[in-house]
Homo-oligomer: A and B are copies of this chain.
């Protein structure tokens, strides 16, 4: 059962060659291109074992071998050697990210950078509101019964919602409301706020309670429960690299998945601290992504994580390179956020 070192070498060689050439790789070309020190026949025997164990397969009887999802998994877990970024890549990252004026700017630059470096589809989640705390809440009167609630989070995230008040509220009262919400919610994590928000209503003077109740419900419903996450996407054109071969000729399921924020969030949003996740083909919980792999990680200032980012591509991707790039970009973005 156990795969000896040479069999693992063979698997690694198969993965590397197939990723590079997109063509099923045979025993002869394998020994030509890699220093395996044995003959094609020996390699064939090893291949037979690898196939039996489910790490590689033959597209047709008289063709070379192709890695299976399971083969890529083993490759990623135990065989791939770390591929450090080239100096050019490091410079590209720095040059791309300095000069970002704004969280929006940071996110957009990051997603384009990732897409460009990995030549794949890149996805970046804005810092999650649930992981942010309130820096400031601003109430801007629009008319006597309408105001704009603007929330600024410590992560730089800014969200606004129109609030339709139950009745006219004079300017002085708005000031009171503003003071109260900032006093009670300022510095608090949004995920901890629901009880605090409820309490707010009780603490308001009776005259302000209806207005505060509306404000509270807007805060709870729209900022915390719904729509709270945002996503940026770039590089969809990269799906067409590698011709019709990847994704079995139909981009449709992939493009459909990319349109669903919910799916994207699941892909890159579930982040444990300092972990990088690789999901290969079937390991994805969405059927549409059976032919794709996702490399994702969390990012944030210092050790805390405020959001996720990652890339999506064909299972036949350069895992070591992609992993290195995703990790590096996440670190740079984290540093950038820490500076603010």
Contacts and interface: CB of A to CB of B under 8 A. Distances in A.
Specify how many copies of this chain sit in the oligomer: 2
A30 interface: no
Interface stretch (A38-46, A207-215, A233-241): A233-241
B236 A259 contact: yes
A236 B253 CA distance: 11
Interface stretch (A155-163, A266-274, A278-286): A155-163
A240 B244 CA distance: 13
A63 interface: no
A156 to B, nearest CB: 8
A258 interface: yes
A290 interface: no
A132 to B, nearest CB: 14
B161 A101 contact: yes
A3 interface: no
Q: Most B CB atoms within 10 A — which of A140, A222, A237, A256?
A: A237
Closest 4 pairs (CB-CB, A-B) = A237-B255, A240-B252, A237-B256, A158-B160
Interface string A203-242: 0000000000000000000100000000000111101100
B251 A240 contact: yes
A165 interface: no
What band does the interface of chain A fall in when counting residues whose beta carbon is under 8 Å from B? Answer: 20 to 34
A162 B102 contact: yes
Interface string A148-160: 1010100010101
Contacts of A250: 240
A136 interface: yes
Interface in A71-95: none
Contact of A136 (B142, B236, B252, B256): B142
A256 B235 CA distance: 8
A318 interface: no
A277 interface: no
A102 B140 CA distance: 15
A138 interface: yes
Contact of A162 (B101, B150, B237, B258): B101
